[in-house]
Amino acid sequence: MAMIEASKYRKSLNRTNELPLLHLVMLFQFVSMLLLTFRDGVMDAFSFQMSLYLPIGTFLGLKIISKLFPVDRCIFILTAFLSSLGVVLLRAVLKTTADASDQALFLLIGYFLMILSAFLIRLVRAWEKLSVIAMPLALGFLCLPFVFGSPSATADSWVKIGGVQFQPSELIKPVLILVLSAGFSRKEGFRVWWRYVLFAGLACSVLFLQPDLGAVFLYFIITVCLFYAGTGNYKVTIAVLLIAVLGVAVFLKLLNSIDAFSYLASRIAIWQNPFSGAYEDARQIVQGLISIASGGLFGSGLGLGSADRVAVVASDYIFAALSEEFGILFTICVLIVYLVLLIRGTTIAMNARSRFHALTALGCVFALTSQMLLIVCGNLHLIPLTGVTMPFVSGGGSSMLSSMIQAGILLGISSVNAEDEYDDLMRITRGQWREEE
Amino acid sequence: MKDMRFAIRLIAMIMAALVLFVAATYVITIHINGDRWINRANNTRLRDAKKTTVQGSVYDSAGVLLAGSSKPGERHYISDERTRRALSHTIGEQTNMSATGVENFHATTLLGFTTTRTGYTLQRLQGQDPVGNNITLTVNAELTRYIADSFKDWKNGAAVVINYKTGAILAMVSIPNFDPANMDLAVQDTAYYNRVLQKRYAPGSTFKIITLASALTNDETIKEEQFSCSGVWNYGEYSLRCAGSKAHGEMSLVQAFADSCNVTFGSIAYQLGAEKLRGTAENFGFNFDFSFDDVIVNQSNCLNKGEKSTDLIQAGIGQGTTEVTPLHMAMIAGAIANGGDMMEPKLIKKVTNPSGFVISEMEPEVFLHCLDEDTSRDIAKYMYETVRGGTATRAAIKGYEDGYVCGKTGSAEWTNDKTRETNAWYVGFLYGDSAHPYAIAVVVEEGGSGGAEAAPIASKVLKKAIELDVY
């Protein structure tokens, strides 16, 4: 009798067959890079190499990570799809190969970091103790732009040390999620939680002063999300949200009288009426909208669009490029991929056996989804552009590595879940499951 | 663990809903605004596409070729210069100086961006230059030229004739104009500006149509009331005068409308109150961000900038902050003639692909239901009286018996400088003539009196339109 039950359970453990999905993604990587190889009449060596490296990388990456841990392979394949989509888009849109090859390198490093973070989340158990050290370190790290600032954009959130440029707010995001999850998964109440609330508040303040308002918003909603999920204290959550809305309203009222934020006031003015003086500062918004609408249903054809006419297309306006090159239908599919990631991530959070793991998984998937929503809404001119990136797809190392670390954490937790399920199964079937296998 | 389930589920649901919402918004905004964004003058893609694509031709409603191309980058226009100039704002041009012409606002259609990509790619693969789509307009070239010629000494101004049953624009003229075939020529200031669609004029007394509509809708007894006018009405520091401070004496509402009595209509507006007057104006499309498929029309404004009593009184006679485009005024007249239904303005009669296959055809659409049929019949009667024995007698068409000529004049002040002449306005329509459902709006800038300057133009133009039997 136990045998029959075991086979029933085995079927449920053996999740959906991921091979068709894997093959489809590999085919996409191969074909799109091959198309780009011959786009300009002369063969482009970089694209040709990529048409082989990308599918091979995806294949090997999946093999390696699923050999190491019993992870949710769907999440890995979809992240591989999104991040290679970034490489494809950068090559298709920009004239030079530099950005795309950088992105490919970051993708490779990202895979390693992904495995490393999956490994760490499985290994380390004492996150509460670690967070005591992590909090001041993270805050110090966030303050780096004040010392090593690089004046690359209006928001001074970049650090440049010895030729390497990175954005601390991106890299600290996974730390924030881990630390807050460790804190809010404890049940002692505010006499413990206050430290973590304080940490989040300080982090937001530091970012506010840089000023990197997109990151402030992201950090804030991550904190609120984790606080609510961890403590279940909806009264405080709603109160905090209300205060935040009120604060933003007051801030906007006072905006014109604060000199330090004059750039923000003009940004909002441009956002409200981008078409009035389209050739000046609003150019990016207008060109972005033109680009988004230019693709039509099926896109301009890979590499045939002109999204490079939008300023900062590689990071801020990659969604516009996606919409122009691939068209509405494909873009909807990409949004659905994010939706699937959200659903898979939530499932991992629901299946997790420890409060900490559940919160961390939720935090990661929440951060990825909300970041995607922010940038897409910004590109569509629904909200002012915040300068956050599209996870996995946008060009830029910090963003790619940060997203990969979050995906790695999700994978690590999913493997812990699978092992726990396996143990349960062994217990139910009194150890016969393995024999049947 | 169990206690977190609900929160996790809730958060995931909210995020999933947001993703779906954004996806839906993405599709809907592109559907609504996509063409508008792509056809912007600063879309450099179009400029590049013109170098590689044979642009489609533009025809008028009678099939006359107005603009065409034989190879990429080349463009020729109808040879008669007067016709070309009269139609310049309607057709547009190649250098993106004007933004509202067909060659600009519908560039993607002429460039074939709206056809399938497969067809485009096939043409490229066969080594042919891709060919765009052809557009047939609703306008009549001969009528358009006739209108432009009717403007005395080429005074600046605008005129538009629409078919109020279908919304089709039969002719629109904006002066000064330019020559699309010779873009190097120096032009007057604002020549590239299509006054019909873009310029917001003070409507002056023509706005009394709206005030009257508001009064008739909100006050059933006002038709029987008697009004008296001493030529001037002092309200605080503001004094409202009738033309030439002439006293109209005792009169009925019809007489007040036909003689265009400012004092009466100022006081009617005052009694109605800002809310009711604005409500009626908004029923007629004021304060509304138009986004028509075929033409770019600027928003008209009424009482959305200030609500002081003087603003209200001035609004009643179409002065102050009230402003309206000529096309919108013609649409208002058309709505009254059409039993209260305002049609969406149409300029594209037909789009065909290079092999003659019809891609899309004009479909009349009701844009707004402005007022009920009885009231619209009353207003038409008042406007008929205005032409029969009021300020607009010169709008009458000799020998025309198929319907009734109805209209309203206006002499709108547009500056505080008293030495400058007022803008002369006429709006009107042919009532009860189903073969010639024309509504018209004419503005002659600094023309002085609407009855003397604008009404005769309208009379000539409508007569010509009937002769040509345009529809």
Q: Is residue A57 packed enough to be buried (19+ CB in 10 Å), middle (13-18) or exposed (0-12)?
A: buried
- Closest-CA residue of A relative to B121 is A301
Q: Which residues of A touch B6 (CB under 8 A)?
A: 232
Note whether B296 contacts A: Cβ–Cβ < 8 A. no
Distance CA B457, CA B160 (A): 11
3-state DSSP assignment of residue A340: helix
CB contact under 8 A, A279 and B42: yes
CB-based contacts of A273, cutoff 8 Å, min separation 6:
A282
Cα of B302 to nearest chain A Cα, Å: 21
List chain B residues with CB under 8 Å of A346.
8-9, 12
B265 and B314 in contact (C-beta within 8 Å)? Answer: no
Would the CB atoms of A296 and B11 count as touching at under 8 Å? no
A170 Cβ neighbours under 8 A, 6+ residues apart: A215, A389, A398, A399, A401, A402
Mutation site for A-interface testing, chosen from B15, B36, B96, B109 by largest number of A Cβ within 10 Å: B15
Q: Which residue has the higher pLDDT, B82 or B120?
A: B82
User: In terms of CA atoms, which chain B residue is nearest residue A299?
Assistant: B117
Asked if A380 and B4 come within 8 Å (Cβ–Cβ), the reply is: no
**What pLDDT, on a 0 to 100 scale, did the predictor assign at position A3?**
44
> For the packed helices A355-379 and A168-184, what is the interaxial angle rounded to 10 degrees?
140
Question: Any idea which of B36-50, B78-92, B337-351 has the lowest mean pLDDT?
Answer: B36-50
Contact B19 A382 (CB under 8 A): no
The dihedrals phi and psi of B185, each to the nearest 5 degrees, come to -60, 145
Q: Do A380 and B44 touch (CB under 8 A)?
A: no
Query: Which H/E stretch holds residue B407?
Result: strand B404-412
d(Cα B76, Cα A167) in Å, to the nearest integer? 55
Contacts of B24 in chain A (CB under 8 A): none
**What's the token pair of residue A27?**
């085919």
Q: Is B81 helix (H, G, I), strand (E, B) or coil?
A: helix
Rounded Cα gap, residues B376 and B332, in angstroms: 11
CA atoms lying within 13 Å on the CB side of residue B124: 10
Q: Whole-angstrom Cα distance, residue A280 to residue A274?
A: 9
Nearest Cα neighbor of B13 from A224, A398, A362 is A362
Using alpha carbons only, how large is chain B's radius of gyration in Å? 25
Mean pLDDT calculated for residue range B209-234: 89
Show the DSSP H helices in B39-95 as ranges. 44-52, 81-86, 88-91
Q: Do B15 and A369 touch (CB under 8 A)?
A: yes
- Count of CB pairs separated by less than 8 Å, A with B: 115
Residue A435: predicted pLDDT: 46
| Mutation for A interface: B2, B3, B10, B11, most A CBs within 10 A | B11
Task: Please give the pLDDT value at position A276.
Answer: 64
Q: Which of A177, A234, A280, A292 to mutate to test the interface with B (most CBs of B within 10 A)?
A: A292
Which residues in A lie closer than 8 A to residue B37 (C-beta atoms)?
Answer: 286, 289-290, 292-293
A278 at the B interface (CB within 8 A)? yes
Q: Can you give the residue ranges of every domain in chain A? A: 2-436
Options 3.30.360.10, 3.40.710.10, 3.30.70.100, 1.10.275.10; CATH of B204-468: 3.40.710.10
Q: What is the mean pLDDT of chain B?
A: 89
B125 near A CB under 8 A: no
Amino acid A335: pLDDT:
97
| Rounded mean pLDDT for each run of 10 residues along chain A, 437 residues in total | 46 65 95 90 89 95 90 93 95 88 94 95 88 90 78 60 79 94 88 90 90 90 94 91 93 77 75 67 83 85 81 88 93 96 95 93 96 94 86 91 96 92 83 56
Q: A233 touching B, CB under 8 A?
A: no
Alpha helices (runs of H) in B203-355, residue ranges in sequence order? 208-218, 253-258, 262-272, 274-283, 309-316, 326-337
Neighboring chain A residues of B115 at a CB cutoff of 8 Å: none
Q: What is the mean pLDDT of residues B213-236?
A: 88
Which residues have CB under 8 Å from A41's CB, separation 6+?
Answer: none
String of DSSP letters for A158-216: -EEETTEEE-HHHHHHHHHHHHHHHHHT--S-HHHHHHHHHHHHHHHHHHHHTT-HHHH
Which chain A residues contact residue B1 at CB under 8 A? 352-355, 358
Q: Considering only CB atoms, which chain B residues are within 8 Å of A339?
A: 16, 19-20
Given A289, A300, A358, which is nearest B4 (Cβ)?
A: A358
Cβ contacts of B15 on chain A, cutoff 8 Å: 342, 366, 369-370, 373
Q: Which of A232, A293, A339 sits opposite B16 (nearest CB)?
A: A339
- The secondary element (H helix, E strand) that includes residue B175 is strand B169-175
Instruction: Write b or e for each residue in A167-183: b if 16 or more Cβ atoms lie within 10 A of its Cβ, otherwise e.
Output: bbbbbbbbbbbbbbbbb
pLDDT digits 0-9 by tens, B140-162: 999 999 999 998 777 899 999 99
Which residue of A lies nearest to B32 if distances are taken between CA atoms?
A293
Confidence at residue B187, expressed as pLDDT on a 0 to 100 scale:
81
8 A C-beta contact, residue B361 and residue B350:
yes
Q: How far apart are CA B428 and CA A217, in angstroms?
A: 56
Question: Closest to A350 (Cβ–Cβ): which among B8, B16, B20?
Answer: B8
Between chains, do A339 and B8 touch, taking CB under 8 Å as contact?
A: no
**How are beta strands B134-137 and B58-59 bridged, if at all?**
parallel
- Chain B contacts of A338, Cβ < 8 Å? 19
d(CA B343, CA B162): 10
What is the per-residue pLDDT for B242? Answer: 86
Q: What is the pLDDT of residue A433?
A: 59
* Cis-peptide, bond into residue B176, ω within 30° of zero: yes
State the sign of the Cα–Cα–Cα–Cα dihedral A306, A309, A310, A311.
positive
Indicate the SS3 state at residue B208. Answer: helix
Which residues from chain B sit within 8 angstroms of residue A370, using beta carbons? 15
pLDDT exceeding 70 applies to what percent of chain B?
A: 96
| Minimum distance, in Å, between the CA of residue B252 and any CA atom of chain A | 47
Q: Give the DSSP per-residue string, A301-333.
A: -TTT--GGGSTTTTTTTHHHHHHHHHHHHHHHH
Chain A hits for B289, Cβ within 8 Å: none
Task: Please report, to the nearest 10 degrees, the dihedral formed by the alpha carbons of residues A241, A244, A250, A253 taken in order.
Answer: -90
Q: Which one of B8, B51, B125, B198 would you mutate to disrupt binding with A, by most A Cβ within 10 Å of its Cβ?
A: B8
Chain centre distance of CA A172 = 13
**Contact call for A331 and B38, based on CB within 8 A:** no
User: Which of A279, A355, A376 is opposite residue B4, by nearest beta carbon?
Assistant: A355
Q: How far apart are CA A53 and CA A193, in angstroms?
A: 46
Q: Which of B1, B3, B4 to mutate to test the interface with A (most CBs of A within 10 A)?
A: B4
| Domain ranges across chain B | 204-468
As a whole number of angstroms, the distance between CA A432 and CA B426 comes to 95
Among all residues of chain B, which has the CA nearest to that of A320? B26
User: How far is the alpha carbon of A91 from chain B, nearest alpha carbon, in Å?
Assistant: 19
Measured between alpha carbons, how far is residue B382 from residues A379, B218, B234, B282 in Å?
Answer: 52, 17, 27, 22
Pick B37's closest partner by Cβ from A230, A290, A332: A290
Query: Which residues, numbered 20 to 39 in chain B, qualify as contacts with chain A under a Cβ-Cβ cut-off of 8 Å?
Result: 20, 22-23, 25-27, 29-30, 33-35, 37-38
**Nearest neighbour of A335 by CB, restricted to B4, B23, B33:** B23
